[in-house]
Amino acid sequence: MFRSEYADVPLVELPIHEAVLGGAAAFGDQPALIDGTDGTTLSYAQVDRFHRRLAAALAEAGVRKGDVLALHSPNTIAFPTAFYAATRAGAVVTTAHPLATAEEFAGQLRDSTARWIITVSPLLATARRAAEIAGGVREIFLCDSAPGHRSLTALLASGAPEPLIDIDPARDVAVLPYSSGTTGTPKGVMLTHRQIATNLAQLEPAVPAGPGDRILAVLPFFHIYGLTALMNAPLRHGATVVVLPRFELETFLAAIENHRITGLYVAPPIVLALAKHPAVTRYDLSSLKYVISAAAPLDARLARACSERLGLPPIGQAYGMTELSPGTHVVPLGRLHDAPAGTVGTLFAGTEMRIVSLDDPGKDLGTGESGEILIRGPQVMKGYLGRPDATADMIDTDGWLHTGDVGHVDADGWLFVVDRVKELIKYKGFQVAPAELEALLLTHPGIADAAVIGTYDDDGNEVPHAFVVRHAAADGPAENDILLYVAERVAPYKRVRRITFIDTVPRAASGKILRRELRELT
């Protein structure tokens, strides 16, 4: 068993809004959130006051403890206020991908039994259609404005009393992001107030933050990585978060220059752009002190090229998953120069890890031996919503979460992730479940069978690659027809990027797809 070099941290027995904004009043007029495109700024005092007023308005509208509220928005400075207002009102927040189709969003609304939606006007048509399909949604609120819907600004005028909700941090769910786990379709991950708040405390010794730090939030808040690293963690310590709605290179670079960003939390595609795009040289990025990459594997050579070009310490990596609130490993900021190339870091405080044999899961492996990574600690999820069997498959009776990732630890405690047992595809940090795409492909009248795996494109991104058996190869659907069929029915990040036509999908006697054989064909 491997244990953290850091001392254990006490469990944070607070609702997440208190764990993050409990010290907001002390930071007063210091900037908490800045819109990276137009400069609109909210101070800590304003965020504190606004989220309390909004919580009162939500309670007045009928939001009750345990209700699920879907937060369906790109990054805006309103997103954190809406999130903390909802949890203060006692709601469970399920974060939704802004690029989800109406059908995909409806599936999440239905599965989570969401009764409320907060969205933005460009996404309103999708939210309305999803609410219509799912049923049960009482009202849709807007971060901005649109006819027929109440805006958050209008709700701030409510004179209702602030709700005093009795929240049990250990039991009550704060956030319900959706994850595919190691396989299958997306499932609601129940993360309690204590789990996500304690994970912030676990991160703090390795990645401290405070007033004067300026973090650029370009990765989405709806993703647990963004929610933790770009929203909860910096706001807990008085740092300033500069918010961008999406990654556009020139806007991103300009924000670093104009707002004197000190820290970046990114995914590998952004590291690639920083390392290679010619536009980078046109901007002053000298304020940067560090870059941390997570959500997908980062090539060590690419990391080195990026840090050398920017004149920064080596790029650090972090590791985790939604089911782990999400963090378990990070390269500490004070050890960026010490970390070996390719490592995802050392264990968070209060976290235990085992590496077990792939051939004999009951056998623990030692230093330098590769096996499946198992994690135990206070950040392990409560479970999958309404799916006790899937929860039991993920977390064993001793509390160990089986990540489905393969890795090894060196003599100094650095973890290296080298492969995956799980079938999940990570396209630019977003989860794509092969089973979901396979089920969709099989609805095409010209497809007899299909299997999907992840393969890598020329930029090192893992992409969905479909192996398709046509009913009649001679006059069956062409590659472009199939690509378009899928693209019209899923969010952009889920699109199939490659197709190989085959005669049969290799399967075991049980019917399980033999994905390893498909990989040998690529």
Looking at the chain, the number of H-run helices and the number of E-run strands are 17, 27
CB atoms within 10 A of CB 10: 9
Cα–Cα nearest to 218, from 191, 242, 200: 242
Higher pLDDT residue, 474 or 175?
175
At 512 the pLDDT is 65
512-521: average pLDDT: 83
Q: What does the pLDDT look like over 443-453, one tens digit per residue?
A: 998 998 899 99
The Cα 443–Cα 435 span in angstroms is: 13
**What are the beta bridge partners of residue 373?**
355
pLDDT at 3 over 60: yes
The answer, yes or no, to whether residue 173 has pLDDT greater than 70, is yes
Categorize the per-residue pLDDT at 357 as very low, low, confident or very high, splitting at 50, 70 and 90.
Answer: very high
The predicted model gives 477-494 an average pLDDT of 95
In the prediction, which pLDDT does 508 show?
62
Cβ atoms of 69 and 63 within 8 Å: the answer is yes
Q: Is the pLDDT of residue 168 over 70?
A: yes
CA distance 341 to 304: 8
73-77, 312-316, 417-421, 511-515 — which is least confidently predicted? 511-515
Angle at 384 between CA 490 and CA 65, to 5 degrees: 100
* Long-range contacts of residues 95-98, Cβ cutoff 8 Å, at least 24 apart: 95/70, 95/71, 95/175, 95/176, 95/177, 95/221, 95/222, 95/223, 95/227, 96/70, 96/71, 96/72, 96/178, 96/222, 97/220, 97/222, 97/430, 97/491, 98/72, 98/73, 98/74, 98/123, 98/220, 98/222
Least confident residue range of 131-140, 355-364, 417-426: 417-426
Task: Using the predicted structure, report yes or no on whether residue 509 has a pLDDT greater than 60.
Answer: no
Q: Which range has the worst mean pLDDT, 142-146, 169-173, 506-510, 517-521?
A: 506-510
Q: Is 91 helix (H, G, I), strand (E, B) or coil?
A: coil
pTM score, whole prediction = 0.87
Neighbours of 61 (CB within 10 A): 16
Confidence of residue 15 (pLDDT cuts 50, 70, 90): very high
**pLDDT on residue 513:** 81
Q: How far is 325 from 321, CA to CA, in rounded Å?
A: 7
Percent pLDDT > 90 in the chain is 83
pLDDT (average), residues 209-238: 96
Q: Widest CA span of the chain, in angstroms?
A: 71
> What was the pLDDT predicted at 183?
65
Distance CA 87, CA 174 (A): 6
pLDDT in tens, 249-285: 999 999 999 999 999 999 888 998 999 899 999 999 9
Q: Could you give the C-alpha distances from 281 to 217, 261, 276, 471, in angstroms and in order?
A: 21, 16, 10, 52
pLDDT in the model for residue 401? 98
Strands 187-192, 178-179: pairing is antiparallel
- pLDDT tier, 511 (very low <50, low <70, confident <90, very high otherwise): low
Give 301-308 contacts, CB < 8 A, sequence gap 24+.
302/268, 302/271, 302/272, 302/275, 302/460, 303/271, 303/341, 303/342, 304/341, 305/275, 305/276, 306/271, 306/272, 306/274, 306/275
Confidence at 423, pLDDT banded by 50, 70, 90: confident
Which of 412, 398, 399, 332 lies closest to 368 in space, CA to CA? 412
| Predicted pLDDT at 421 | 73
Contact 116, 92 (CB under 8 A): no
Instruction: Confirm if 140 and 165 have CB atoms less than 8 A apart.
Output: no
CA pair distance 18, 51, nearest whole angstrom: 11
pLDDT at 208 over 90: yes
**What proportion of the chain, given as a percentage, has pLDDT over 70?**
98
Query: Tokens 């069956």 appear where?
Result: 476
**Burial class of residue 434, CB neighbours in 10 A (0-12, 13-18, 19+):** buried
User: Which of 254, 286, 337 lies closest to 37 in space, CA to CA?
Assistant: 254
Mean pLDDT throughout 388-410? 96
* pLDDT of 430 over the 80 cut: yes
User: pLDDT digit string (tens) for 324-340?
Assistant: 999 999 999 999 999 99
214-221: average pLDDT: 96
The token pair at 461 is: 């991104």
